[in-house]
Structure 1
Amino acid sequence: MKSGKDRDGIAMEHDIVAFEMEGAGVWDEVPCLIVKGICDYADSHKNKRWQNFAAATAASVMKAILGRYVASERGRPSRSQSRFGEFPHSHSIPCIRNYEVVKRQAEVKKLHQLLSNPSACQAAALWGLGGSGKTQTALQYAYQRWDARDCSVFWKLGLDDTKNEENLLEAVRDKIKSLESWVLVIDNTDDIKVFLPGQSSGKTANLIRYIPQSAGKSGTGLWTSRDERVDAVVGPGRAIEISRMTEAEGRELLYTKWNKKDIGAKDVTITKLLEELEWLALAISQAGAFMRRTQTRASEYLKIQQTPGVPNSVLGTWHISIERIRKENQLAYHILNALAYVNNQNISEKMVAEFAKFHGERAPIDWKDFKDDDKEHIAADDNYSDEQSIEILTALARLKEYSFIQIHRDDKKQKSYSMHKLVQDAARFGLSAGLIVNELKSGTSSGGERYYAAIALKVMARLFPGNKPGLSWQQSEKYVEHAVQAAEWAEISGTPVRAAGLLQLCYFLVDRGYSLEARSLELTEKNLSICQQALGGRHPDTLYIKYRLAHAYFRNGAKQLAKDMTNKVYPLQREVLGNTNLDALRTLALKAFILCDEGEFEESHRLLTQAMRRCRDDGKEKSYAAAIILDRRAWLSMKQGDHEKAAKLASSSLKIYQKKATKSIQTIRCMELLAKLYVDTGRYSEAVPLGESALDLAKARWGSKHLTTNFLMHILARSYFELEQYAKAEPLAKEAVRVGQDLPGRSHHATLMRESKRLLADMSKLGY
């Protein structure tokens, strides 16, 4: 810590303004917060004249901190109380209290009236345009309830069942229900249909079952949404519209953000400006922040707002600031536009740094720039110079100063950024409408829209490597929402299939588990549309997408669609690519697999035999295509009840897979199949080494919480048990049951779950 260079590096990375030495270690012994006034700095440069001032500063800060906490006469819970869950009231509100918020008196009053019954479970909702102040009003209500210390307060940013496990949601719901008094805020619930019975299907159907209902207890549910139909969830007459601010509220907010004193006299210019901003809270806040930052007068800002060519809407508010950013800091402007084409939450500095690499490129991005080389899919490095890091951090700071982005830190103090959806809309609108003079030679009439959409795809191809060898499932997980969002803009980028590794994203979603397969299907359909437009219906890439779409249909249960698609694409692949092309044989193998699943064993066997004969005739009996065909023949034999033959075929397939791609998904799945066949035929001593190797590969690729990993745990535990290796069987069976209960789609391996529970019961009788 004596090195100034080290301190500067740490300060830059963690936003540190000072280093405390003398008090360090006190908090290791006593839970405390150290407040210290400073009159010396660095290596003891000190001015005694400032010592009294520093002490007074520390005292005033301490007083301000204590003022944030409400005094309480309650004693601490006893140890016995804590053990049985009788905890004092607590809160989980992710947003800090906003002391600059302008209270929406009428809306808050109506909200308290709707939620005034202290002895009933009740609900209300706030709805309105994005940026109208719904979240701030809900935040105000939540902190008022928390300040009263009459209940526990919880906050959930929407509900998306693809990101949560059923058991976890049920456990949280049941815990909240058990409390005597609680408030639950469900913020940004814009997809209302997932909360209504019969309005959606699959894993997102009827999420209302996870919302606690406490009969005879005081429970409050507060929803915010852009959708007026939220009253179908909370009840007729219980949804409050958060619309335009009143003139008094708008003036107060503008002056607060502008850091000016409202003299009280009615100012026609201010009124006109608020009218231009459509009295929208977020727009007023942004305008005030701009005027404060740039020392701009209201009349000057109004003149810019009314300039011909600038849309007379709230989107124009951000256009003014975006244009200012472009003139002040080109890198910040570049990052802002690129971020408009990814998810608006959980934006990492690594992502921003990758966007920064494209700053200053003069040539348009073309789809031919996106190669199939593995280097394109290797996660981006972190080798940035100090100068580059400072430039990026300065650009981010400028965006924050203009209220374009917000900074967040998780429990591990890791920094991330978010951007309001309306800001993204404004950035995209400016690019598409040509409001901003784009200095990049994009080669299109739509300004930089195509350019920045393509950048988002390019960066996701680097950061989201999908299922490339040597890259784990966990590495891709944190970028999946950004990749999905970037894929939504693939069409306007003019970039066909390979542009953002869109196929890699589809593979990942299918491979991750059942809960995301529907999204994979949607993206594959989009992928096909883009590819057909760009390359035509007979291009090899287009044909391959059709095969992937057939595969996606089959995984989603649309077997007839899958069958129809294979019947269409296979003849084209034979004509364009040849009989022994890998893609053509893949499609033929899928067609046979679908027939096998439908019980048409003879036709399935005929097709697979035909495919293998073609491989032999072409000298490819040891090729990757041959391994796929042998794999499918093993499944067919297993379905027909001939497990011995199935094991031989799977073993032959595995030998080829292991030579071609040791750690590929196909290799792991083939090992899984063969291990199952060994167990089914009582060959436990052969199942153990194979199962152990497969489990290691599966854990390295997907982690423990994956269906394939869990399946391998079950069959390996069974093998240990049958070989009387109980010390190995017992912990593995326990882990398999524990993890398996939380997996989506666990009905697919319900038999294995029952079997592992039976094994545990048997081992318990044996003393394990």
Structure 2
Amino acid sequence: SKTQIALEYAYRRSRDQACSVFWVHADNEATFTQDYKAIAKRLGLAGNLDGPELLTAVRERIEVDPCWVLILDNADNLAVFGAGRTQPGAEEKRGLCDFVPRGPAGTVLWTSRDKRIGGTLVGARRAIHVGGMTEGEARTLLEAVRDEEIGEAEAQGAAALLAELEWLPLAVSQAAAYMRRTATPIDEYLSRLRRRMKRWEVLGETEFDRHRRGHVSNSVLQTWDISIEHVREENQMACNILHALAYLDNQNIPFALIAKVAETMGRPGGDREATSASAAGNKQDGNQDDNDDVRAATVLLQHFSFLRLRASDDRRGAYDMHKLVQEATLCSLRQDARRTDERRFSEVALRAVAALFPWTLWESRRELWEECEIYLVHVQHAAGWGELCGGEVEAAALLSRVSSYLYDHARWRERETVDEKAYAFRKRVLGEKHPDTIRSMAFLGNTYFEQGRHDEAEKRNMEVLGLRREVLGEKHPDTMRSMASLAITYYSQGRYYEAQKRHMEVLALRREVLGETHPETIFSMAQLAVVYFAQVRYDEAEKIFVEVLALRRDVLGEKHPDTLDSIASLAAAYFAQGRYDEAEKIFVEVLALRRDVLGEKHRDTLDAMYNLALTWDRGHRRPEAFAMMQECIQLQCDVLGQTHPDTRNSLQLLDEWNTDAKKTLLSAEHSGASHSI
């Protein structure tokens, strides 16, 4: 198969110790990002990177290697990489191709089932079509997986079997695994296969062929059908697990998720209830017994080539399912007679991931991030089947939790897809005016805003505000949040008067409804001061900044991020008024606090370093400014990448300082020469 060829190429290149080899599952944006995060960790990049900053940092880091190979496996959805797009405009989402490294020192190897990749993502002449196995290669594979050489008596039957299987690697592997597990002779397996082929010829367009995708060969479906029948007879739990896993992502399936799937379905024969007296004592043993049963079922699926254990340092274990196995499983469930099973297993998958994906509460979010990342791809995959099992509302609620996680990591591209799906589910089932539907609309507007798509954000926020006023009323907290979001959008568009008017309206309502010291009331005060600052009304801005800082210190505490923002805002007001000594004193305090609370490489810490360097420069302390700016740039390159706007701005400012210093030096030399003359 194409993946096996790519693996062989990777192993051969890895023999050169100077060559770095990277492997990325390119099925979709979520798997691409997940593998880039793993690469970033291996390369020692900053752990707080996420979103486009992470993808850019990994790309730039790979590009500076003297020799590298990047393999993008299963890039079947070319649109994800920007292929075939015709819509111009700055607000269009960037394709993942922007984050694929380039350069003469490296090689990018793509694998894809879409032949259009040649001439789009790679040059037409550089595309290599992978043909089928030869008869000799297929025979070797059959012997290897079956763990038995083909004797003269079986040679004719083996040749006929391989021809029936179209020499497809997966079909041959499944057949050989079945024969090894059940000690079935080749001729007997061939006879069974041919009987099923006749039955499927009768089914024709009415069953499998109507629902299967074009790339799923009948040979794979036939060997799958034979193997799954035996698995069902030997271990019903294993059969059920396989069917439910088909509705998850086929890569990196944690054992904990497989166990949760089994638990969600219940054990064959119904739930076994213990008496209250013995339940407490036997709970731990019962859980161990359950896990042992799931392990046995998982091992059985491995024996029949349905699952493959991943090579990983994680003791918990994770598994992959071949894409064609997944498609064959889905095809079997799409038969008209199995619609109930289809709904059942898709619901099991959705409920299992919903039980495992953490509720990321504010006070514990950071501790749960790693766990969220493990299940992120599977949640999105399972939620996509929400309509099939009638679980659109549950899927939308789960996607909203995913949206919050992606918000924390500024992964706006992924969040947009998640928000759109949640909104579509809720709109269809709950209606446009349901509060949850409106909340999904608000999430989507926020995602547009964070991507710099301010016109789209304004349109969406206006729509949300109108609906919340109608459904919830003018003084509902959600309505006030929509008013505040619209005001912030106006500010970002440079419409300061409209932003000021809206912020004043929100502030008055929040003071009336929530009270003077409520965090959202204080937030409105801070936003109004920001608008005054942009309007060069520094005295008014400073007065409010001082008041906001005092309130936040009292309500939130000295080290809360919002309090630190207020301290920095006050320093910025002093700086704008030319009060550099006062600004410097506060910026020094802000930098120390942010280093302590957020860490050296947090973006807010880098902003504090930049502001302090700028303040020192204005205060005629150029040597200190130089040193601080150089340190800031080094960290920005590490955390944000050399092409990030903040990094470029710092580099440009440092270059201007260097130019000024050279001019000053030349002027001083010229003045000295004239004087001596």
Identify the TM-score tier after normalising by the shorter chain: 0.7 to 0.9
Question: Residues 165 and 568 of structure 1: is their aligned pair in 2 closer, same or farther, counting only changes over 3 Å?
Answer: closer
CA displacement at 1:530 relative to structure 2: 0.3
Contact kept, 8 Å, 2:357 with 2:375, in 1: the verdict is no
Q: Partner letter of residue 172 of structure 2?
A: I
Q: Partner letter of residue 227 of structure 1?
A: D
Question: Residues 607 and 447 of structure 1: is their aligned pair in 2 closer, same or farther, counting only changes over 3 Å?
Answer: closer
Structure 2 residue ranges without an equivalent (≥5): 37-53, 210-217, 269-283, 575-581, 661-677
CA displacement at 1:512 relative to structure 2: 1.4
1:610 correspondence with 2:478: no
Does 153-162 or 669-678 show the bigger shift?
153-162
Of Structure 1 and Structure 2, which has the larger fraction of its residues in helix?
A: 2
Aligned to 1:175, the other structure's residue is in SS state coil
User: 1:227 maps to what in 2?
Assistant: 114
User: Normalised by the size of structure 2, how large is the TM-score?
Assistant: 0.72
User: 1:345 maps to what in 2?
Assistant: 251
1:536 correspondence with 2:431: yes
User: 1:737 maps to what in 2?
Assistant: 634
User: 2:23 maps to what in 1?
Assistant: 156
User: 2:276 maps to what in 1?
Assistant: none
Q: Residue 482 of structure 1: which of 339, 355, 378 is its match?
A: 378
What is the CA–CA distance in structure 2 between the aligned matches of 1:558 and 1:400, rounded to whole Å? 47
CA displacement at 1:572 relative to structure 2: 1.6
The residue correspondences of 1:166-205 to structure 2 (distance < 5 A) are 166-176=56-66, 186-192=72-78, 194=81, 204=95
What is the CA–CA distance in structure 2 between the aligned matches of 1:229 and 1:488, rounded to whole Å? 26
Aligned to 1:501, the other structure's residue is in SS state helix
The residue correspondences of 1:122-271 to structure 2 (distance < 5 A) are 133-140=1-8, 154=21, 156-157=23-24, 162=33, 163=36, 165-176=55-66, 186-192=72-78, 194=81, 204=95, 206-207=97-98, 210-213=101-104, 222-232=109-119, 233-264=121-152, 270=158
Does 529-538 or 681-690 show the bigger shift?
681-690
Q: Partner letter of residue 283 of structure 1?
A: A
User: 1:450 maps to what in 2?
Assistant: 346
User: 2:224 maps to what in 1?
Assistant: 318
Contact kept, 8 Å, 1:186 with 1:221, in 2: the verdict is yes
Q: Partner letter of residue 248 of structure 2?
A: V
Higher RCO (CA 8 Å, separation ≥ 6 residues): 2
Question: Residues 648 and 420 of structure 1: is their aligned pair in 2 closer, same or farther, counting only changes over 3 Å?
Answer: farther
Q: How far does the alpha carbon of each residue in 1:707-740 deviate from its partner, in whole angstroms, 9 at most, with x for none? A: 445435655777899899x999979973773254
Q: How far does the alpha carbon of each residue in 1:257-288 deviate from its partner, in whole angstroms, 9 at most, with x for none? A: 22343235686765665455443211221221
What is the CA–CA distance in structure 2 between the aligned matches of 1:719 and 1:353, rounded to whole Å? 58
Aligned length: 587
Q: How far does the alpha carbon of each residue in 1:152-211 deviate from its partner, in whole angstroms, 9 at most, with x for none? A: 58453356775354354344334345xxxx876554343556387987965546549723
Aligned to 1:211, the other structure's residue is in SS state coil
User: 2:325 maps to what in 1?
Assistant: 423
Q: Partner letter of residue 468 of structure 1?
A: W
CA displacement at 1:657 relative to structure 2: 6.8
What is the CA–CA distance in structure 2 between the aligned matches of 1:743 and 1:384, rounded to whole Å? 49
Aligned to 1:469, the other structure's residue is in SS state helix
Contact kept, 8 Å, 2:353 with 2:378, in 1: the verdict is no
Q: How far does the alpha carbon of each residue in 1:31-73 deviate from its partner, in whole angstroms, 9 at most, with x for none? A: xxxxxxxxxxxxxxxxxxxxxxxxxxxxxxxxxxxxxxxxxxx
The residue correspondences of 1:603-682 to structure 2 (distance < 5 A) are 603-618=498-513, 620-643=515-538, 645-646=540-541, 649=544, 668=561, 671-672=564-565, 674-681=567-574, 682=582
Q: Residue 304 of structure 2: which of 402, 406, 415 is its match?
A: 402
Q: How far does the alpha carbon of each residue in 1:461-510 deviate from its partner, in whole angstroms, 9 at most, with x for none? A: 33xx4463222145534443333333433433433455453123223323
Q: How far does the alpha carbon of each residue in 1:433-458 deviate from its partner, in whole angstroms, 9 at most, with x for none? A: 36769xxxxxx574424313422441
What is the CA–CA distance in structure 1 between the aligned matches of 2:162 and 2:294, rounded to whole Å? 34
Question: Residues 269 and 687 of structure 1: is their aligned pair in 2 closer, same or farther, counting only changes over 3 Å?
Answer: same
What is the CA–CA distance in structure 2 between the aligned matches of 1:647 and 1:574, rounded to whole Å? 33
Contact kept, 8 Å, 2:549 with 2:566, in 1: the verdict is no
Q: Partner letter of residue 74 of structure 2?
A: N
Does 401-410 or 263-272 show the bigger shift?
263-272
What is the CA–CA distance in structure 2 between the aligned matches of 1:456 and 1:211, rounded to whole Å? 40
Question: Residues 403 and 690 of structure 1: is their aligned pair in 2 closer, same or farther, counting only changes over 3 Å?
Answer: same
Contact kept, 8 Å, 1:467 with 1:508, in 2: the verdict is no
User: 2:475 maps to what in 1?
Assistant: 580
Q: Residue 170 of structure 2: which of 263, 269, 282 is its match?
A: 282
Aligned to 1:336, the other structure's residue is in SS state helix
1:293 correspondence with 2:181: yes
Question: Residues 311 and 584 of structure 1: is their aligned pair in 2 closer, same or farther, counting only changes over 3 Å?
Answer: same
Q: Partner letter of residue 377 of structure 2?
A: E
What is the CA–CA distance in structure 2 between the aligned matches of 1:591 and 1:658, rounded to whole Å? 27
What is the CA–CA distance in structure 2 between the aligned matches of 1:548 and 1:468, rounded to whole Å? 17
What is the CA–CA distance in structure 2 between the aligned matches of 1:153 and 1:752, rounded to whole Å? 31
Q: How far does the alpha carbon of each residue in 1:413-449 deviate from its partner, in whole angstroms, 9 at most, with x for none? A: 7743322222232333333436769xxxxxx574424
Aligned to 2:23, the other structure's residue is in SS state strand
What is the CA–CA distance in structure 2 between the aligned matches of 1:360 and 1:541, rounded to whole Å? 31
What is the CA–CA distance in structure 1 between the aligned matches of 2:259 and 2:550, rounded to whole Å? 43
What is the CA–CA distance in structure 1 between the aligned matches of 2:451 and 2:17, rounded to whole Å? 47
What is the CA–CA distance in structure 2 between the aligned matches of 1:296 and 1:262, rounded to whole Å? 13
Does 385-394 or 569-578 show the bigger shift?
385-394
Q: Partner letter of residue 481 of structure 1?
A: V
User: 1:42 maps to what in 2?
Assistant: none
Contact kept, 8 Å, 1:198 with 1:205, in 2: the verdict is no
Q: Partner letter of residue 111 of structure 2?
A: T
1:746 correspondence with 2:639: no
Contact kept, 8 Å, 2:526 with 2:545, in 1: the verdict is yes
**Aligned-pair RMSD on alpha carbons?**
4.5
CA displacement at 1:289 relative to structure 2: 1.0
What is the CA–CA distance in structure 1 between the aligned matches of 2:181 and 2:335, rounded to whole Å? 27
What is the CA–CA distance in structure 1 between the aligned matches of 2:658 and 2:298, rounded to whole Å? 55
Question: Residues 535 and 134 of structure 1: is their aligned pair in 2 closer, same or farther, counting only changes over 3 Å?
Answer: same
Aligned to 2:365, the other structure's residue is in SS state coil
Q: How far does the alpha carbon of each residue in 1:121-145 deviate from its partner, in whole angstroms, 9 at most, with x for none? A: xxxxxxxxxxxx1122344455567
Question: Residues 639 and 412 of structure 1: is their aligned pair in 2 closer, same or farther, counting only changes over 3 Å?
Answer: same
